[in-house]
Amino acid sequence: MFQFIVRRILIALVTIFAISIMSFVIIQLPPGDFLTSYVASLASQGDSVSEQVVQAMRENYGLDQPIYVQYLKWIGGVVQGDFGRSLEWGVPVADLIWDRLAMSLMVGLSSVLFVWSLAIPIGVYSATNQYSLIDYISTFLGFLGLAIPNFMLALVLMWIAFSAFGQDVGGLFSPEFQDAPWSFEKFINLLSHLWIPMIVVGTAGTAGLIRTMRANMLDEINQPYVETARAKGLSERRNIWKYPVRVALNPFISTVGYALPSLIGGEIIVAVVLNLPTIGPILLRGLLSQDMFLAGAIVLLLSVLTVLGTLLSDILLALLDPRIRME
Amino acid sequence: MSNNNVLLEVKDLKVSFYLTEATVQAVDGVSFTIEAGKTLGIVGESGCGKSVTARAILGMVRKPGKITNGEILYHRAGQAIDIAKLDPEGPEIRSIRWGEIAMIFQEPMTSLSPVHTIGNQMIEAVQLHKSVSKSAAEAVSVDLMRRVGLPYPERLLTAYRHELSGGMRQRVMIAMALTCSPRLLIADEPTTALDVTTQAQILDLMRDLQDEYNMAIMFITHNLGVIAEMADDVIVMYLGKEVEVADVDTVFYGASHPYTQALLRSIPRHDVDVERLETISGSVPDPTAIPAGCAFHPRCRHYVKGACGTPPLVQVSAQHQVRCTRVYEINEHLAAAQTE
Ligand SMILES: Nc1ncnc2c1ncn2[C@@H]1O[C@H](COP(=O)(O)OP(=O)(O)OP(=O)(O)O)[C@@H](O)[C@H]1O
Ligand code: SF4
Ligand SMILES: [Mg+2]
């Protein structure tokens, strides 16, 4: 087990290193170095920068040095939390992304929780009561959830929140809490806004997960080990949750790691529609306006999160499934 | 049979599977009795309804199957409980399961959970039926695992299914089946998936344990050789019906049904030339299209058109029944005995 974890951590480190190079390549991708574009963008706004300042920055970023030195300087900064400057916003990238990343994590985690707490019981029920009315209804709703575009669901829920609960529309906070420091009230305010993106982002996933959970369960419930447990006199409910559900859940645990990045990808449109202060929209804008330090930083962070998530689910799976530890 | 040694009485049991395209009559009016401490062997080709009969006894017929007729009387403390009438998920049947009637399934490889330890599953079996502490349950488990010849039973408590060989898994299943000292052990082809040596060891073990615990065994197999070693009484089944019922000696020395006779001819024996080994002609018919009249007639060498009809179970002697209309014509010794 210990060996297994060490090996996985080493693999994760190597992967992260490769990702950092990729992100650096992305930053370097636009023609010319970024100072040229920086100066150009300032000039287009009517400002001008003195030659000395440009020269100082050039040295600071190591732009006249070989490419690997530039990489080392950049990654050295990243490790200390300095991701460079955003050309478009004119502020350090770090100031832009941490809050938004936290919000994205919040939306992502809450929709994962939403998806799991809904899909697993429904999937288990559908499988153990195959072809019952509820099985058909959940199948139907599941496909509906897959078919409805997210932005439409977002609009419908916003309308419901507005007309039924009199809530202000969009965002994750009411205006009075927007810039307020963190407090319990602000947190409650966040929760009252969070449910819309949670449902919108989670619905398609719920539909998919119900189908997979149902199929996995159907594979397991007729297995001899379930029969053995039944023959031992275990009650039906305890049997189902102890044996087949445990085995049927394993495939999901291995996907926890990818859940977050795919949610952030799926969330971009929703975030734009709902005006959420999350990472998706600024990634989109950063890419459109070639704000490469910003885009590179986000790509890097999301990839690292994916690697960490995968590492986590690998370890979790190994803890839960003794068969994995063997290989 | 008002014998107070009777443990289980199955009367005219019928089980049907309602599939969308057809109905399968998997068990079609089977009756038998199991006595305390005795072994009843059930033998027949694949699909004749052996496992379904066994499951019915535990109230575990799978959907879309249903018990449509008959009684399964379980005798306990002077009372008879009809298992066929119990709620299959209710507390009565669950206390009988394992506590009094335990079962070893056909598939030793997958009868244990892949993600729970052996100890977890053994202790669960004990604690479901006895209010004992975890450590006491653990002690019982270790003791039984040692008893069935498993090495290092303490270590096995924390082992998983995939760490055990097929023979070890089946020993674990046997140990687990004994945890609550059942009065009846149903063993559904417990050795078919194992190699010959392991098979012999497991059979020996089961016989020893039967004597020690004085339990009855219902032994299901398609192998008459195994029946010869294990059973006191035998039921030969064909397409959901018993075709011959007798004690083990009668089955081997006076088999009177053409199907039993054919089964016996198909066993390899050292005193007979292997080249002359016969197989039963034809194959088991599709269970959704059971032949009318005598179900065995398409494969029967004694079939006479118009003379066979639909045979009842004929009582040819006190302990011997045969489902064949022509039983006296094809068995001279029975005919002779009858005219005396
Ligand atoms: N779950 C099920 N669904 C549909 N039909 C079934 C089911 N279980 C059993 N049957 C049918 O019932 C009949 C008897 O099956 P059973 O499992 O009792 O056979 P068996 O004698 O145990 O055979 P084997 O030696 O292969 O184990 C078969 O024809 C089978 O098609
Ligand atoms: S009744 Fe006829 S067909 Fe059936 S077993 Fe007897 S002889 Fe054969
Ligand atoms: Mg069977």
Domains present along chain A, CATH in parentheses: 99-280 (1.10.3720.10)
Domain shared by B159 and B231, yes or no: no
Residue B120, chain A, CB below 8 Å: the answer is no
Count how many pairs of residues, chain A against chain B, have C-beta atoms within 8 Å. 74
Who wins on pLDDT, A176 or B323? B323
Residue B102 and residue A231: Cβ atoms within 8 Å? yes
* B62 contacts A230? CB cut-off 8 A: no
Copy the structure tokens of residue B296.
């065995």
pLDDT at B1: 45
Do B172 and B52 reside in the same domain of the chain? no
Tally of structural domains, chain B? 2
- Assigned domain for B87 exists: yes
Q: What is the pLDDT along chain B (340 residues), one digit of tens a residue?
A: 446 789 999 999 999 999 988 999 999 999 999 999 999 999 999 999 999 999 999 999 998 999 999 999 999 988 999 999 999 999 999 999 999 999 999 888 899 999 999 999 999 999 999 999 999 999 999 999 998 889 999 999 999 999 999 889 999 999 999 999 999 999 999 888 778 888 888 899 899 999 988 899 999 998 898 999 999 999 999 999 999 999 999 999 999 999 999 999 887 766 555 555 567 777 888 888 899 999 999 999 999 999 999 999 999 999 999 999 999 999 988 888 777 6
Domain assignment present for residue B284? The answer is: no
State the distance from the centre of ligand 3 to the C-alpha of B238, rounded, in angstroms: 13
pLDDT of residue A290: 79
For residue A3 the two structure tokens come to 């060996």
- Condensed to tens digits (0 to 9), the pLDDT of residues A90-138 reads 888 888 888 888 888 888 888 888 988 999 999 999 999 988 898 899 8
Task: Identify the DSSP state of A289.
Answer: T
Q: How confident is the model at residue A181 (pLDDT cuts 50, 70, 90)?
A: confident
Residue B218 domain-assigned (yes or no): yes
B202 and B267 in a single domain? The answer is yes
Closest-lying ligand to the alpha carbon of B221?
1
Structural domain containing residue B31 = 1-100+184-278
Same domain, B125 and B272: no
Ligand 3: centre distance to CA B105 (Å)? 9
Alpha-carbon gap: B271 to the closest alpha carbon of chain A (Å): 40
Strand ranges in chain B using DSSP code E only, listed in sequence order: 6-18, 23-35, 39-43, 65-76, 79-82, 101-104, 184-188, 216-221, 233-238, 241-247, 314-317, 320-322
Query: What does pTM read for this prediction?
Result: 0.84
Decide if A228 and B112 are in contact by the 8 Å CB cutoff: yes
The DSSP letter of residue B298 is: G
| B327 is a domain residue | no
- Ligand 1 midpoint to CA B26 (Å): 7
| Residue B324 beta carbon below 6 angstroms from any ligand 2 atom | yes
Does residue B67 sit in the same domain as residue B211? yes
Cα of A77 to ligand 3 centre, how many Å?
Answer: 68
pLDDT of residue B277: 54
Q: What are A105-117's pLDDT values in tens digits? A: 888 888 888 988 9
* Band of residue A321 on the pLDDT scale cut at 50, 70, 90: confident
Look at residue B312 and tell me if it is in a domain: no
Q: B58 and A234: CB-CB below 8 Å?
A: no
> Do both B5 and B85 map to the same domain?
yes
Q: Say yes or no: CB of residue B296 within 6 Å of ligand 2.
A: yes
Please check whether residues B250 and B131 belong to one and the same domain: no
pLDDT score of B271: 59
pLDDT digits (tens, 9 = 90+) for B139-174: 999 999 998 889 999 999 999 999 999 889 999 999
For A154-169, the pLDDT digits (tens) are 888 888 888 888 777 7
B228 lines ligand 2 (CB under 6 A): no
Find the A227 Cα to ligand 1 centroid distance in Å.
15
The residue whose CA has the least distance to atom 10 of ligand 1 is B26
Atom 5 of ligand 2, nearest CA residue: B324
Burial of A277 (0-12, 13-18, 19+ CB in 10 A): middle
- Are residues B43 and B130 both part of a single domain? no
Q: What is the DSSP string of B115-172?
A: SS-HHHHHHHHHHHHS---HHHHHHHHHHHHHHTT-SSHHHHTT--GGGS-HHHHHHH
- Of B260, B278, B296, which marks where a domain is finished? B278
Pocket flag, ligand 2, residue B323 (CB < 6 Å): no
Domain boundary among B152, B179, B206: B179
Query: Domain boundary at B258, B278, B298, which?
Result: B278
Residue whose CA lies nearest to ligand 1 atom number 1: B62
Is the same domain home to B271 and B226? Answer: yes
Q: Angle at CA A190, nearest 5°, toward A158 and A286?
A: 75
Q: Determine contact: B105 vs chain A, CB below 8 A.
A: yes
In the stretch 124-183 of chain B, residues with CB closer than 8 A to chain A read: 124-125, 128-129, 160, 162, 173, 176
Between B292 and A327, where is the model more confident? B292
- Measure in Å the smallest separation between the Cα of B292 and chain A Cα atoms: 33
